[in-house]
């Protein structure tokens, strides 16, 4: 890879990871379970900063609490001065402020539990106020105290006031809960009422904390508080989830079964791919898409200067490249192949695609300089074999030393399914069940448990004929390229039903359980899994080629709602629409219309299509209707689309824009349990149509789908969410 020392000048980091909570039971009986992936998160971040960003190790401060099988589970391995206690964390922030010169980059990453406690600042928040914050390793001891939201905000303000460029990543949440499989939740139970003790000093005088809190409260009147922080105007904040949601850690690699925080895993995965000109906004959009499709109950948050270049102080584009190491012709097929200096260590998967530029070319953003496209067909640890595809009109001459720029990661078409086996309830749990009619999570009644093996075996039997290659059982094959782990779980419940769950074991919304006794129940389950795989492939479809002239040129926004608008009426101006109480969480009622603004900010006319990825698991074209495939929006112009709210749920509205013609009806799906029928669409020869057709096929043409074959057609996409209520 290219030398990146100049790309991250003066970078300093504070990394905090807590697996061990000692003890984890608080005096009021609430619990902070020890975790298994937080220290690994921090070690992986440290390795990334040192190996790929060339950050000297002495510029990285690290506080961790590790668990060892050789010690008591509650006792961390590290010496006291290296443990993430509240005071050690405060001291590390202050040392960071002292050591980092003005203008330096400061990166702060926390992986561990988030918590909620009765406020120790009643004069600021009121007697019934709640403090949110980070949970130190010694929270269960008499001296243990949270690093509370006011503490954290003040410490960050001090860094910003010095003129440091700050990025904060918080991989934690505030809510605990039950999961299935190799999944854990990074949050505690309830609200702690532990007060500050004499000698446990505040990070600043109460008057200063009050002024800091007042300023951020005024900036965010709706009180958006991702993991204890409110406004982030002066720095970039990436938080694992919204308030009252879950932040998961999961065993993404089923071969090693090592857990990682979902936010940290996809953060590093995206950073390692180093898309040209990548901003924090670009980073967040991919992280959000990956996490929310895998864990529907986790929605990451980004705040602050998200248009800033990652680890940079400006907004100019930067391009990263990897070298072409070898070019050769395959002896059997005659196809040209290249070996690139990139692999598993960089987070690259099979199917990822690169644009090849001749060595000596400095403008790696100009598509006219490309000589070929390369798709990874065999991935190694640090080197990967690619199939070369010529670009029309270009001489197909690739040489060692040429440069390869990642165009886009691949879309995983084939998804893993786990048949999750639960335990039989104990006699004590059954006695409690008789009183409360509730069993602990993942426990089955004896009469259900005795048939569980047979019922799940029926699902396995139904796979070969009905999966169509879109889904496969996780138990049957574990490969080194199985980077994303299990996508779906199937389990039986205590009502004698099959449930389809996300990878954390939560049943999907709007998917009704199926009675095991129903005719063809297992077949129905497998067909639903195929439907979900196609739905999620479309949800992930994106063109992240930052060198495209259409990158970020399509802007979507909700203008407001109306309860009096009717079909055929003149579209009202924004001033006559009802505003959303919370623009960050747009909500419309059934029977109302919501108005979508589509702005073409590019210098050329674009053909635009809008799809609705609905909560009933259907995908249909919202705009235009009446058999048209697209509408043309002139350069620099806007179009407003009235959309009727017809059914309750959370929908994703996705707009595609192309220079040439393309047919996105390939992606349409009926509601769940309706038969998926071939579209009967004629092929145009357009590479983008060929890509879209792959998602529509009865059987996937490949495990992972690349989207770089179509950038010559110049297309882009944008997605926006909406909640419909009664």
pLDDT digits (tens, 9 = 90+) for 344-357: 656 566 777 888 88
How many Cβ atoms from other residues are within 10 Å of residue 101's Cβ?
10
pLDDT at residue 426 greater than cutoff 50:
yes
Strands 336-340 and 353-357, sheet pairing? unpaired
In angstroms, the CA 160 to CA 421 distance is: 50
Per CATH, the number for 7-303 is 3.40.50.1460
Nearest alpha-carbon partner for 166 in 211, 109, 112, 243: 109
- Per-residue pLDDT, averaged over 361-385, amounts to 79
| Lookup: tokens for 583 | 């623009």
With cut-offs at 50, 70 and 90, classify the pLDDT of residue 687. low
**β-pair partners for 106:** 12, 166
pLDDT at residue 5 greater than cutoff 50:
no
pLDDT at residue 29 greater than cutoff 80:
no
C-beta of residue 140 within 8 angstroms of C-beta of residue 34 = no
pLDDT given for residue 303 in this prediction: 81
Q: How many helices (H) and strands (E) does the chain have?
A: 11, 36
pLDDT at residue 706 greater than cutoff 70:
no
Beta strand ranges found along 114-214 (DSSP E): 114-118, 130-134, 147-148, 165-171, 183-185
| Domain coordinates in residue numbering, the chain | 7-303, 322-409, 422-538, 547-725
Per CATH, the number for 322-409 is 2.40.30.230
In tens, the pLDDT along 92-139 reads 999 999 999 998 999 999 999 888 878 777 877 777 777 788 889 888
- Per-residue pLDDT, averaged over 617-630, amounts to 85
In tens, the pLDDT along 544-599 reads 666 677 878 899 999 999 999 988 889 999 999 999 988 878 999 999 999 999 99
pLDDT given for residue 114 in this prediction: 86
pLDDT at residue 6 greater than cutoff 60:
no
In tens, the pLDDT along 660-675 reads 877 888 888 999 988 8
- Longest CA span, the chain: 77
In angstroms, the CA 397 to CA 388 distance is: 10
In angstroms, the CA 626 to CA 116 distance is: 52
The total number of residues shown for the chain amounts to 726
In angstroms, the CA 387 to CA 397 distance is: 14
| Lookup: tokens for 174 | 């505030």
């Amino acid at each position: 890879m290219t030398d990146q020392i100049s790309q991250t000048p003066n970078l300093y980091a504070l990394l905090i990871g807590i697996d061990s909570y000692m003890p984890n039971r608080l005096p009021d009986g609430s619990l902070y379970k020890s975790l298994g992936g937080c220290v690994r998160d921090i070690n992986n971040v440290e390795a990334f900063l040192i190996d790929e960003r060339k950050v000297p190790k002495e510029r990285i401060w690290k506080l961790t609490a590790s668990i060892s099988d050789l010690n008591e589970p509650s006792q961390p391995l590290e010496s006291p001065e290296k443990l993430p206690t509240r005071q050690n964390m405060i001291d590390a922030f202050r040392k960071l402020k002292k050591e980092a010169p003005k203008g330096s980059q400061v990166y702060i990453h926390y992986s561990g539990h988030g918590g909620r406690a009765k406020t120790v600042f009643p004069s600021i928040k009121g007697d019934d106020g709640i403090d949110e914050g980070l949970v130190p390793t010694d929270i269960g001891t008499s001296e243990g105290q949270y690093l509370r939201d006011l503490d954290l905000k003040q410490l960050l303000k001090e860094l910003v006031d010095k003129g440091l460029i700050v990025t904060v990543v918080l991989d934690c949440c505030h809510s605990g809960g039950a999961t299935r499989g190799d999944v854990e939740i990074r949050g505690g139970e309830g609200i702690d009422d532990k007060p500050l003790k004499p000698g446990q000093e505040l990070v600043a005088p109460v008057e200063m904390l009050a002024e800091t809190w007042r300023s951020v409260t005024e900036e965010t009147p709706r009180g958006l508080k991702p993991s204890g922080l409110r406004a982030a105007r002066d720095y970039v904040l990436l938080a694992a989830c919204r308030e009252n949601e879950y932040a998961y850690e999961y065993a993404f690699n089923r071969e090693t079964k090592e857990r990682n925080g979902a936010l940290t895993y996809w953060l590093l995965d995206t950073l390692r791919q180093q898309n040209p000109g990548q901003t924090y906004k670009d980073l967040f959009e991919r992280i959000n898409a990956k996490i929310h499709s895998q864990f529907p109950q986790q929605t990451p948050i980004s705040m602050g200067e998200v248009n800033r270049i990652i680890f940079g102080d400006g907004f100019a584009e930067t391009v990263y490249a990897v070298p072409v190491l070898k070019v050769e012709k395959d002896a059997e097929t005659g196809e040209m192949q290249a070996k690139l200096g990139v692999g598993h260590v960089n987070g690259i998967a099979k199917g990822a695609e690169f644009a090849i530029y001749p060595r000596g070319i400095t403008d790696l953003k100009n598509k006219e300089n490309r000589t070929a496209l390369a798709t990874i067909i065999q991935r190694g640890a640090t080197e990967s074999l690619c199939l070369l595809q010529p670009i029309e009109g270009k001489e197909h001459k690739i040489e060692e030393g040429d440069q390869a720029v990642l165009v886009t990661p691949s879309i995983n078409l084939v998804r893993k399914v786990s048949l999750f086996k639960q335990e039989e309830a104990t006699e004590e749990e059954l006695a409690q069940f008789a009183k409360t009619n509730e069993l602990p999570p993942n426990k089955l009644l004896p009469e259900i448990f005795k048939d569980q093996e047979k019922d799940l075996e029926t699902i396995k039997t139904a796979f070969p004929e009905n999966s169509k290659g879109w889904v496969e059982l996780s138990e049957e094959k574990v490969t080194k390229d199985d980077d994303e782990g299990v996508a779906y779980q199937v389990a039986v419940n205590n009502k004698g039903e099959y449930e389809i769950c996300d990878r954390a074991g939560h049943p999907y919304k709007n998917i009704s359980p199926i009675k095991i006794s129903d005719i063809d129940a297992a077949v129905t389950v497998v067909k639903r899994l195929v439907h979900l795989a196609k739905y999620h492939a479309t949800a992930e479809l994106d063109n992240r080629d930052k060198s495209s002239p259409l990158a970020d040129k399509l802007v979507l926004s909700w203008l407001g709602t109306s309860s009096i608008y009717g079909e055929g009426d003149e579209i009202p101006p924004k001033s006559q629409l009802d505003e959303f109480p919370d623009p960050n969480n747009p909500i419309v009622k059934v029977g109302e219309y919501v108005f979508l603004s589509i702005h073409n900010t590019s210098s050329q006319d674009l053909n635009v299509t809008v799809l609705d990825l609905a909560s009933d698991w259907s995908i249909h074209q919202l705009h235009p209707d009446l058999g048209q495939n697209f509408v043309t929006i002139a350069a620099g112009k806007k179009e407003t689309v009235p959309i009727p709210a017809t059914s309750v749920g959370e929908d994703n509205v996705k707009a595609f824009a192309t220079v040439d013609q393309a047919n996105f009806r390939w992606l349409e799906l009926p509601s769940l349990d309706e038969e998926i029928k071939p579209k009967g669409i004629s092929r145009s020869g357009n590479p983008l149509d060929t890509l879209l057709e792959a998602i529509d096929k009865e059987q996937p043409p490949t495990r992972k789908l690349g989207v770089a074959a179509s950038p010559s057609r110049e297309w882009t996409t944008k997605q926006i969410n909406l909640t419909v209520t009664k």
